[in-house]
């Protein structure tokens, strides 16, 4: 059993290496090769609606660096329009538990995803440059997008600063640490921040968006 | 191009054949939390169509029984019907914070996916989950981390009366309850809130010892 396992594993490794060479040759002959990815996004938070997502072959953010104004607009106001160009597609609003499937055709073997958690000041679920180079046609990969803090707005959680309450979304002022980091979570008015407009139901714990990518072409 | 297709066909044929083999695996599960126990674990190898749940979708009644009360018997029945290879309660009771347990599993050909679930105590309907992960076929050691999930079948009131065995965890009394809703779908657990008032306040859980962050468990699969 053990030996046959090892033998078939070695054979498999060799075949994968061979087929990998074949793919490279194809690409050299067809520099315009495009890939089509079917991307299913599921909001797996208990109580955070998500604004229009963007799925794009562009990079969107880098931890430790200042957010672009385009990302700030997505993270503070749910507006993905400035991140959206011919390399990307836009999703709809996802309520907690809701799913949507977007299709992206691109020359890139990596994609980025971002969507605002609407009941935060500047929190967004995102994956930057998800590497899909190992994905063959018909294969899928799954991952969770973590929640990041754009670092562009203080996390006051008030009904005049959190986009969900309709008073203010994007604000050009940067009154936080001005770099993208993982989000430390919302506190809520049931957990010690009396001035918060959020309840415990809107808390989240790192993973917010379940992502399934299937390569169609 | 033709030769590439042939190679690809051969590759997929090999992948198919290797995934249809029976496997001998060891599964080590470690509770990574500082103050949450896991009720009896269910470790099961099953086929690709026997998922225990889908994040974002409503939980089954049997998943609910596991998540709210630690009762894995319904899920075991479901899995047995589906021809799965299951190990029940490898830790022989609760898996305490920081503790680990190792179990061995012989999989029937075709049972290529591994699921692991257990209720998290004290929570209302929180559970750890490895949800239908493809078991590697190559001999070796593989590491994973598991997240806390919320079955979405019970509001996260954090009241002792709503949590089985919570009294065994020095839980408080007299709280008014967190103002939570029943989600109606499986989500990533947002965490316990707790408070520092053991005889009142909003929560009967203790904020300093009974919170958790993801991940909450680690799993090491050894393919022999």
> Residue A7 — very low, low, confident or very high, per pLDDT cuts 50/70/90?
very low
All residues at 6 or more sequence positions from A72 whose CB lies less than 8 Å from its CB, including other chains: A122, A150, A152, A170, A174
Q: What is the DSSP letter of A44?
A: -
Nearest CA to A150 among A74, A85, A214?
A74
Q: How far is A11 from chain B (nearest CA, A)?
A: 8
Report how far Cα A186 is from the mean position of its chain's Cα atoms.
Answer: 19
CA dist A148 and A145 (Å) reads: 9
> What is the tally of structural domains in chain B?
1
CA dist A121 and A92 (Å) reads: 20
Q: How far is A115 from chain B (nearest CA, A)?
A: 17
User: Chain A 21-40, CB below 8 Å of chain B: which residues?
Assistant: 22-23, 25-26
C-beta neighbour count of B77 within 10 angstroms: 12
Are the C-beta atoms of B223 and B25 separated by less than 8 Å? yes
- Residue B85 is assigned to a structural domain of this protein: yes
CA dist B222 and B151 (Å) reads: 29
Least trusted range by pLDDT, from A210-214, B99-103, B128-132, B204-208: B204-208
Per-residue model confidence as pLDDT tens digits over A32-55: 799 999 999 999 999 999 999 999
B1 → closest Cβ in A12, A26, A200 = A26
- Residue B15 is assigned to a structural domain of this protein: no
CA dist A118 and A45 (Å) reads: 12
Per-residue model confidence as pLDDT tens digits over B4-40: 444 444 444 444 444 568 999 999 999 999 999 999 9
Point out which residues pair with B100 in neighbouring strands: B30
Give the distance between the most distant pair of CA atoms in chain B: 74
- Residue B2 is assigned to a structural domain of this protein: no
Best residue in B190, B203, B210, B222 for a mutation probing chain A (most A CBs within 10 Å): B190
Q: What is the DSSP letter of A194?
A: T
CATH of the domain at B29: 2.60.40.2130
Cβ-based contacts of A23 with chain B (< 8 Å): 4
Question: What per-residue confidence (pLDDT) applies to A2?
Answer: 41
- Residue B39 is assigned to a structural domain of this protein: yes
Nearest CA to B108 among B46, B50, B49, B51?
B46
- Residue B9 is assigned to a structural domain of this protein: no
Which structural domain, as residue segments, surrounds residue B94?
22-223
Per-residue model confidence as pLDDT tens digits over B155-179: 999 999 999 876 566 678 999 999 8
Are the C-beta atoms of B172 and B197 separated by less than 8 Å? yes
pLDDT at A30 over 80: no
- Residue B211 is assigned to a structural domain of this protein: yes
What's the pTM value of the predicted model, to 2 decimals? 0.85
- Residue B29 is assigned to a structural domain of this protein: yes
What is the percentage of chain A residues whose pLDDT exceeds 90?
Answer: 85
Helices (H), chain A: 2-29, 69-77
């Amino acid at each position: 059993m053990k030996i046959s396992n090892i033998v078939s594993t070695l054979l498999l490794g060799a075949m994968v290496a061979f087929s990998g060479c074949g793919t490279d040759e194809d690409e050299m002959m067809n520099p315009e090769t495009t890939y089509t990815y079917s991307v299913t996004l599921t909001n797996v938070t208990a109580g955070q609606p998500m604004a229009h997502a963007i799925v794009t072959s562009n990079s969107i953010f880098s931890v430790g660096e200042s957010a672009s104004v385009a990302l700030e607009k997505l993270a503070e106001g749910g507006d993905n329009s400035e991140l959206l160009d011919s390399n990307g597609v836009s999703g709809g609003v996802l309520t907690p538990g809701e799913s949507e499937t977007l299709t992206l055709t691109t020359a890139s073997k990596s994609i980025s995803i971002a969507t605002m958690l609407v009941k935060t000041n500047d929190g967004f679920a995102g994956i930057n440059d998800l590497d899909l180079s190992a994905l063959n046609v018909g294969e899928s990969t799954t991952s969770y997008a973590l929640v990041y803090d754009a670092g562009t707005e203080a996390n006051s959680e008030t009904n005049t600063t959190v986009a969900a309450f309709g008073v203010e979304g994007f604000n050009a002022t940067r009154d936080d640490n001005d770099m993208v980091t993982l989000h430390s979570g919302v506190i809520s008015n049931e957990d010690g921040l009396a001035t918060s407009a959020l309840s415990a139901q809107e808390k989240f714990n790192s993973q917010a968006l379940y992502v399934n990518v299937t390569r169609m072409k | 191009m033709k030769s590439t297709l042939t190679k690809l066909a051969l590759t997929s044929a090999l992948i198919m054949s290797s995934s249809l083999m029976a496997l001998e695996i060891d599964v080590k599960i470690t509770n990574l939390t500082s103050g949450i126990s896991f009720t009896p674990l269910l470790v099961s190898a099953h086929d690709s169509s026997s998922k225990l749940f889908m994040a974002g979708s409503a939980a089954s009644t049997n998943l609910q029984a596991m998540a709210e009360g630690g009762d894995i018997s319904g899920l075991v029945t479901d899995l047995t019907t589906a021809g799965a290879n299951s190990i029940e309660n490898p830790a022989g009771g609760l898996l305490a914070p920081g503790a680990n347990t190792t179990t061995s599993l012989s999989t029937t050909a075709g049972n290529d996916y591994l699921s692991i679930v257990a209720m998290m105590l004290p929570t209302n309907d929180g559970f750890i989950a490895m949800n239908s992960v493809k078991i590697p076929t190559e001999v070796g050691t593989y590491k994973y981390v598991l997240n806390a999930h919320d079955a979405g079948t019970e509001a996260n009131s954090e009241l002792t009366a709503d949590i089985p065995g919570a009294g065994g965890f020095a839980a408080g009394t007299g709280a008014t309850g967190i103002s939570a809703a029943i989600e109606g779908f499986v989500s990533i657990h947002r965490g316990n809130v707790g408070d520092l008032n053991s005889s009142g306040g909003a929560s009967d859980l203790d904020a300093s010892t009974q919170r958790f962050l993801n991940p909450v468990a680690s799993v090491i699969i050894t393919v022999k």
